[in-house]
Every structure is written in structure tokens, then in C-alpha cells.
Amino acid sequence: MAVSPISGADRRKGQELLHQQCWIWGQDILRPEGNLLLEAGFTRQRPPQGVAGSTQYVLRLVGAGRWMLWGFGFFYGTPDLGGIYVNRFQFRPQWMGLDAVGGPIWKPDMIPSGGPPPDPSVILKLAATAVRRIADYEDWALSRCGLSYRRAVLARWRETTQTAPERLPEAWRALAEQIESAPWPHLREFSR
């Protein structure tokens, strides 16, 4: 496995937060008042009839970028930097060109293999930006649905390690700052 440009402590925190966030997104989809991801502007692409897999949610970003969500992780990309895929259970951003995820994807094994980024700092920049976008989504969801909704969602989650819903935006932003500001002595090793 390739060396990650994100430190072990930050990867562990990212993995913990992303596992919880994927659960939350799944509950937002099932919200009795309506699918919150659709309300936030995402489009939905379900797997074809008879094909097992995760529904793909896509948010088109200003400037032709994309944010794609599945139950198994997310992709975030921009035309100028490419994109990263982050698996729900391993916060190890994998770089790939934006066009690599052009078609529908239903399963993790449909995610194309990434290549080396043009510069390892690109992964860090994309990861920090994606993490901030998650924080912004959580701020929006809290203002739109209220803290009681988020608490009820997490009350149904059976995991013992949780970040309180009122602290989620702050936790994601703190992770973005860590990704951007921590010393990365192993970036040379990563780019080999």
C-alpha cells in the first residue's frame, strides 16, 4: 500500500469521522420528511435493477467539480487538481483524474486505481477542501433540521465512538487544519 501524505493520527481521526458521517448520510437519505441529500442539491443514481450496490449521490460544484457520495466513501474533485477517493474505513485519500469517475459507480471495486498525483501536496489540498465541505454540510443540516434531528440519528447508531452532532462541523474543520498545517516530512517518500 502506498504511503499516505496524511499522518497516522489524522488518518485515524478522519476514519472515525468518515465512518460516522457515512452513517449520517445514510440516515439523511431515509429522513421521513424527505431525502436531505437531494434537498442539499445532490442528484441520485441508483444501481440498475437487479444489481447489488450503493446508490451514488453527485453534487456538481462550481467550476465543473464534483462531490460524489456512497455508503462506502466519497470522491471529491476539481478540474484543476483532479480528485481524491476516500474509503469509509481507511482515511487514505487516493488521487485520480476528475474524468476517472465519470460513469456511475455502485461498488468500491468499481473505483479506478489512482496514479501518483502531480504533486503530493495536491492530495493534502483536496483532502482539506473536501473535509471542509463535509463540515459545511453538517452546519447546513443542523440549521435545516435542528440538533434534535441529528441527536436522534446518532441515537440509532450502534457504534460506541461518536462525535457529538453539535461538534461535528468543528471536528471536521479541525481535521482540515491538521491536514494543512502538520509537518509532512514523508512527502518526498510519498512522491517516489
Radius of gyration of the chain (CA): 16
Q: 0.85 exceeded by the pTM? A: yes
Specify the range with the lowest mean pLDDT, choosing from 42-46, 158-162, 181-185: 181-185
Is residue 191 over pLDDT 50? Answer: no
Establish how many alpha carbons lie within 13 A of residue 53's alpha carbon, considering only the half-sphere containing its beta carbon. Answer: 20
pLDDT tens-place string over residues 30-55: 999 999 999 999 999 999 999 999 99
Query: What pLDDT sits at residue 192?
Result: 38
Mean pLDDT of 101-106: 87
pLDDT tens-place string over residues 67-96: 999 999 999 999 999 999 999 999 999 999
DSSP output for the chain: -PPPSS-HHHHHHHHHHHHHHHHHHHHHHT-TT--HHHHTT-EEEPPPTT---PPEEEEEPTTS-EEEEETTEEEEEETTTEEEEEETTEEEEEEE-GGGG-S---SGGGSPPP---SSHHHHHHHHHHHHHHHHHHHHHHHHHH-HHHHHHHHHT---S----GGGHHHHHHHHHHHHHHS--TTHHHHT-
| Average confidence score pLDDT of the chain | 90
Is residue 155 over pLDDT 80? Answer: yes
Sorted by where each begins, the domain ranges of the chain are 8-190
Separation CA 20–CA 74 (nearest Å): 13
% of the chain at pLDDT higher than 90:
74
Is residue 188 over pLDDT 70? Answer: no
Q: In 3D, which of 63, 68, 65 has the Cα closest to residue 86?
A: 68
Mean pLDDT of 155-174: 93
CB 57 within 8 A of CB 78: no
Is residue 118 over pLDDT 80? Answer: yes
Is residue 161 over pLDDT 70? Answer: yes
